[in-house]
A and B are shown apart, each in its own frame.
Chain A
Amino acid sequence: MSTQTASQSMSLAELQRQMAAAVMAPLTADEDMRANAPDGRAITDRS
């Protein structure tokens, strides 16, 4: 299990703003993580 998150060509500040928004997004009604980040990109699991 290791979620690969893109950070290339993104500043540290922008990465932290985007990741904070994703981390603090409400869970689904079933209390699961959302399948997509706030910007619409899929949150993938490479395992």
Chain B
Amino acid sequence: MSGNRFNAYQDHGVGIGLRIPHYNHIFSKKPVVDWFEIISENFMCDAGRPMAVLDQILEQYRVVQHGVSMYFGSVTEPDPEHMKRLKTLVRRTGTPWLSDHLCWGSVDGAYTHDLLPLPYTWEAVERTVARVKQVQDYLEIPIAVENVSSYAAFTGSEMTEWEFLNEVVERADCGILFDVNNVYVSSVNHEFDPMEYVNAVPAHRVAQIHIAGHSKYEKYILDTHDHPVIDPVWQLYDRAIERCGRTPTLLEWDDHIPTFDEVHAEALKANRYLRKHSGELAEVSR
């Protein structure tokens, strides 16, 4: 059986992020796409063009919601109005699961609009688990937490990032949106073996996988989502699929966005690995 209880046992295949520059192409050409991931915050309104677009998409495509401001690790409570609007959108889209980031980004009502890393401490585990459970209970759908790329680490961390992720998802009994590009980016920035991370993730909890490109600078890598996926990231994806089996996969491309066909073609490269580990291909060839 493909899928697991964290993605509602769905075999969604390979999707791409729904982005404004592609609207005209999608509505005029009606391309075949396994699914679209939407950024929840872009559609948390009552009416207007965003909702008209969303309804049009929902008529033809499967949609999964991905958020960027839940801040599971923030110490301050989530905004009740935000949660209410999110639940309304969840009902509207029928998203089978909802993902957001394993990070923090707001405190005392101030929003940094950034995905900031947590110290990997037991205090942060407890805080994050409580928040994930709270959100999962309120929204009444499976939650998947996504590992973020990071550019700072804390001397007070008491465990590795993957140990922290494992503690959170086991205690909260939630799923994982496993971003293999983020693993690669952080592995370079913090000098760890990315394959050790991939091998440590509890495969039975991986609801979805993100792939993306990034930008390499002299001293660090930045998770810019503006390039094709590089080979080392495909290798991490290959291993992740080998461990997790067929898993809904999503290509993120958020800046210098090329044509719809280019983005979709890049995403569909994932099918090589999905087929490989389904026994349809003996070996991946590029």
Binding site for B on A (CB under 8 A): 1-13, 15-17, 19-20, 23-24, 45, 47
A7 and B152 form a contact (CB under 8 A):
no
A12 and B121 form a contact (CB under 8 A):
yes
Chain B residues, CB < 8 A from A45: 219
13 residue pairs from A and B, CB less than 8 Å apart: A1-B219, A2-B189, A3-B151, A4-B153, A4-B155, A5-B152, A6-B155, A7-B155, A10-B156, A12-B124, A16-B104, A20-B110, A47-B220
Binding site for A on B (CB under 8 A): 73-75, 104, 106-108, 110, 112, 114, 116, 118-119, 121, 123-124, 127, 151-157, 189-191, 219-220
Given A12-B75, A23-B116, A2 and B152 contact (CB-CB distance below 8 Å): yes
Chain B residues, CB < 8 A from A10: 156
A20 and B112 form a contact (CB under 8 A):
yes
Q: How many A-B residue pairs have CB under 8 A?
A: 66
A47 and B219 form a contact (CB under 8 A):
yes
**Nearest B residue to A18, CB-CB:** B107
A6 and B220 form a contact (CB under 8 A):
no
3 closest A-B pairs by CB: A7-B156, A1-B220, A8-B156
**Nearest B residue to A43, CB-CB:** B152
Chain B residues, CB < 8 A from A7: 119, 121, 154-157
B190 and A2 form a contact (CB under 8 A):
yes
A12 and B112 form a contact (CB under 8 A):
no
Chain B residues, CB < 8 A from A16: 74-75, 104, 107
Contact residue among B119, B124, B152, B156 (Cβ-Cβ distance under 8 Å from A3): B152
Given A3-B151, A9-B156, A17 and B108 contact (CB-CB distance below 8 Å): yes
